[in-house]
Structure 1
Amino acid sequence: MKPSRKRLIILTLISLATLINYLDRSVMGVAKPALVAELHISPEVMGLIFSAFSWTYAIAQIPGGYVIDKLGTRLTYTLSLGLWSAMTALHGFMTGVAGLVSARLALGLAEAPCFPANSRVLSTWFPQQERAKATGVYTVGEYVGLGLLIPVLGWMLAHYGWRSLFFAVGALGIVFSVIFYRLYREPAESGANSAELALIEAGGGFAGKTQNLDFSWARVGQLISKRQIAGASIGQFCSNSTLVFFLTWFPSYLADERGMTFIKSGWLVSLPYIGASLGVLLGGWWSDWLIRFTGSPTIGRKLPIITGLLLCSSMVAANFLQSNNAVIAVMSVAFFGQGLAGLGWTLLSDVAPRQMMGLTGGLFNFFTNLAGIVTPLVVGFVVGATGSFYFALAYIGALGVIGTLAYLFVLGPVERVTID
């Protein structure tokens, strides 16, 4: 019997949900120039507003992961998607800094379960030899979507004002939350045939029911003590810092430092996002090929990520370039590298304990999304103090090197962790 392809429907659902997730996070970066002009916000305060999202997003990761393990992916994801989309629309009603910070805090809280749930879906629905490609597909959606939709949002900004961006993107997510609930199922309940379920099980997936361990802080401590979890978390923090820069301050860098607006520059500003998309696709294909060729998940997962982190460091070269086209090229290479390094979530699905996939994903995302708190604040204060992005780019470049060292010397072998 030929295996059915139900997992491709599931992959489509989480790809579209992840696209909406990142669109909701990044719309503030597009709205920022007009928003700042209307509300008279300084770079330091804008860094605070950007950062506020990750305060609650990071704090909610561990409880969010535990909720996924208890309530399941379908219900948790649907509620999260609908709530974060409503919170995005709420931004459009705000008239001051306090309101914007409050909306960012609510958005971070609502989005918290998304990536732990994605990791759980990978471990549940896909055999190991397909996980990197599956990660590449759902991750590439966020970059392609941003690359294609950010110019559209820029056009909306110019014609309808910054508030229209939040209303439109929020409405899109609310509609999709209904679609997600109607279509998502776990493997055993999905109508997948026995051949597909056997394929998933044979590749280390969990097509059947999984008994989850109860939450305890002792088990959280056990997870943190595992070098696979600790090394991946440090490396992902560094990689995520590059992503956070592109989602928050990159549009301002182009507009304020380089004099490039979305209207004047057109689709040129989309090239870094397209570069990241190519990085994600290449990373997934390369990683799965390396595992087949070498038989080593350690080589197959680590090599693309380390390569990507080193390419992230190339961003610092933009400080020494005069040509805007050359700057876009450098930023495209750096974001391409971040796309390669996006395999961190695939690696986590390989090492997370079977009975604690949601909690492990939440813990991992807590540490990695500290970058969402630190990076906007660092960049905001550096730009406010110096009037330049010079040292901000140097900071991002240095983190790429630190992340490389974490994967080389902390992570150890890529193998599934066991918890007593």
Structure 2
Amino acid sequence: MVDRLASVLADFPIRSPCMERDTVAATRTTRVRYLMLFLVFVGTVINYVDRANLSVAAPLLKHEFGLGPVEIGVLFSAYAWTYVIANIPGGWVVDRFGSRAMYALAVLVWSAFTLAQGFAGRFATIFGLRLGVGVAEAPTFPVNNRVVSIWFTQRERGTATSVYLVGQYIGMAALTPALFWVAHAFGWRAIFWATGAVGIVWAGVWYLLYRDPEQCSWVSEAELAYIRNGGALVGSNQAGAAKAQPQKFPWRKLATVFRNRQIIAICMGKFASLSSLYFFLTWFPSYLITERHMTVLKAGGMTAVPFIAASIGVVAGGTLSDFLLRRGASVGAARKTPIITGLLLVPTMTLSLLTDSNAVVIAIMSFAFFAQGVASASWSLIGDIAPKSMIGITGGAVNFAGNLSGIVTPIAIGFILRETGSFGWALGLISVFAVMGALAYTFLLGEVKRIDIGDEAVADLPGAASRPGAERHEATPSTQD
């Protein structure tokens, strides 16, 4: 069914300026990769707003449906149940059918599920629709990782990754106050109607504008040469090649990837980082309303502040990583430094237990979320180690493990609240996860190098040379898994 839908969408006869490269684009210097990055950024904003809109609605709908903290925690986690399961096949369909068709289809489907939540009349209905959102969103971060990997040089990849990752936080910072106002003025159902409608429109915009580098008429030969020579995986995993030579799901190669110590370490670190993120995406508004006794509208405004801080953290982490790489640091040192530093600073959130001032609490939480943003640079690390013909599926595998925290964290906090009536132990749990993640990156990850699955030539990573400014880069693969 997925094969048929993706194939039809990929062949649909809509033309855009990116269908065939023209002679003008071939003779001028372009920066088309930044347009493609902007498209990914906006898609990520919509993605995370549709993940987190339930946290805005929860303080209102729990009274209508008579839900306790454990039930709310289960509802928060519903999205992650199917999201983690669908991540690996989601990454595989991205490798097979490409970014354009699969992302458009994913946005369309999850937005339809989001809009339908506004018509739900009971707990079970919302729970089922959240499961649907989780399935449909599974290909999105493998797409994001793939787009950055094929459009950007390795020395730009950390910054480019931070730009689309910042969409996770910018969207919530800018739109959470608006969503609280919508809920206050029109009721919680209007939140889902508005966010779902926006996503449906964006699915069409993405499909009309996005293309891979070698299929885009806007990109010049000069820009193509620049990104290819800089280590971008131009020409890898093209959907057309996959359709011409259908492939079975690569179970054996995936098992090889999962056994790799680099992947195990990143999975542990991703779980730790996303645990704190899921706290802010799910329980944080309720924390401000129930624990800090803020009004709905004030909580909406205050929720935005930590997300702004996290946005700054994401950009700082990616920029620092690329700066270290340009100054001659190894790929491992450049990628791991901001991640480990950020994770070790996340436990500062427990300092909020020592004050009664809401202003101080917001400042502490903002700093902790800033640190989580710095630690989110692991996606650029995945781009550095994933087998070149398995970028999507490797990203899906790591996202699978990391987003298990989306199941564990909300439910665990729900049980903690039921038993203790306070968020104190919840903040302690998130802090323990963060320290464990930092230890995994420090002692388990080891040398950063691309995984060799035995059937593709792998050159040294740029930046891994002992001398600054080394010009080595990976060869573009000509085969398709």
Quick check: 1:201 aligned with 2:228?
yes
Q: Tell me the residue number matched to 1:97.
A: 123
Q: Tell me the residue number matched to 1:412.
A: 446
Q: Identify which range, 263-272 or 231-240, moves more after superposition.
A: 263-272
User: Where in structure 2 are the equivalents of 1:382-393 lying within 5 Å?
Assistant: 382-393=416-427
Corresponding residue SS for 2:96: helix
Which one of 63, 66, 74 corresponds to residue 89 of structure 2?
Answer: 63
Corresponding residue SS for 2:166: helix
Q: Tell me the residue number matched to 2:287.
A: 253
Q: May I ask how many residue pairs the two structures share in their alignment? A: 420
In 1: Cα distance, 2:371 partner to 2:28 partner: 37
In 1: Cα distance, 2:300 partner to 2:250 partner: 51
Which one of 229, 236, 240 corresponds to residue 274 of structure 2?
Answer: 240
Which one of 10, 16, 27 corresponds to residue 42 of structure 2?
Answer: 16
Note the residue ranges of structure 1 that are not aligned, 5 or more in a row: none
Q: Identify which range, 263-272 or 337-346, moves more after superposition.
A: 263-272
Q: Tell me the residue number matched to 1:173.
A: 199
Corresponding residue SS for 1:342: helix
User: Where in structure 2 are the equivalents of 1:289-368 lying within 5 Å?
Assistant: 289-368=323-402
Q: Tell me if the contact between 2:268 and 2:437 (Cα under 8 Å) persists in the aligned partners.
A: yes
AA paired with 2:33? R
Q: CA deviation at 1:294?
A: 2.8
Q: Tell me the residue number matched to 1:219.
A: 253
Corresponding residue SS for 2:390: helix
Per-residue CA shift, 1:190-227, capped at 9, x if unaligned?
12111111111112112224477753322121001111
TM-score (normalised: structure 2): 0.85
Q: Identify which range, 186-195 or 161-170, moves more after superposition.
A: 186-195
Which one of 187, 193, 218 corresponds to residue 161 of structure 1?
Answer: 187
Corresponding residue SS for 1:418: coil
Q: CA deviation at 1:44?
A: 0.5
Q: CA deviation at 1:388?
A: 0.8
AA paired with 2:432? A
In 2: Cα distance, 1:402 partner to 1:220 partner: 25
AA paired with 2:365? M
Identity %: 47
Q: Tell me the residue number matched to 1:231.
A: 265
Q: CA deviation at 1:261?
A: 2.8
Quick check: 1:75 aligned with 2:109?
no
Q: Identify which range, 319-328 or 235-244, moves more after superposition.
A: 319-328
In 1: Cα distance, 2:222 partner to 2:329 partner: 24
In 2: Cα distance, 1:272 partner to 1:262 partner: 17
Structure (1/2) with the larger helix percentage: 1
AA paired with 1:197? L
Corresponding residue SS for 2:305: helix
Q: Identify which range, 293-302 or 156-165, moves more after superposition.
A: 293-302
TM-score (normalised: structure 1): 0.98
Corresponding residue SS for 2:148: helix
Q: Tell me if the contact between 2:278 and 2:409 (Cα under 8 Å) persists in the aligned partners.
A: yes
In 1: Cα distance, 2:396 partner to 2:236 partner: 21
Change in Cα spacing, 1:281 to 1:46, as seen in structure 2 (3 Å) is same
Per-residue CA shift, 1:1-25, capped at 9, x if unaligned?
7641111110010000000000001
In 1: Cα distance, 2:452 partner to 2:249 partner: 15
Corresponding residue SS for 2:121: coil
In 2: Cα distance, 1:270 partner to 1:181 partner: 31
User: Where in structure 2 are the equivalents of 1:129-144 lying within 5 Å?
Assistant: 129-144=155-170
Runs (4 or more) in structure 1 with deviation over 6 Å come to none
Q: Tell me if the contact between 2:100 and 2:210 (Cα under 8 Å) persists in the aligned partners.
A: yes
Quick check: 1:84 aligned with 2:71?
no
Quick check: 1:268 aligned with 2:309?
no
Q: Tell me the residue number matched to 2:68.
A: 42
Per-residue CA shift, 1:96-140, capped at 9, x if unaligned?
111111011001001000001111111111111111111111111
Q: Tell me if the contact between 1:319 and 1:393 (Cα under 8 Å) persists in the aligned partners.
A: no
Q: Identify which range, 345-354 or 207-216, moves more after superposition.
A: 207-216
AA paired with 2:231? G
Q: CA deviation at 1:266?
A: 6.0
User: Where in structure 2 are the equivalents of 1:365-404 lying within 5 Å?
Assistant: 365-404=399-438
Which one of 283, 292, 295 corresponds to residue 317 of structure 2?
Answer: 283
Corresponding residue SS for 2:323: helix
Please tell me whether Structure 1 or Structure 2 has the larger radius of gyration of its CA atoms: 2
Q: CA deviation at 1:262?
A: 3.9
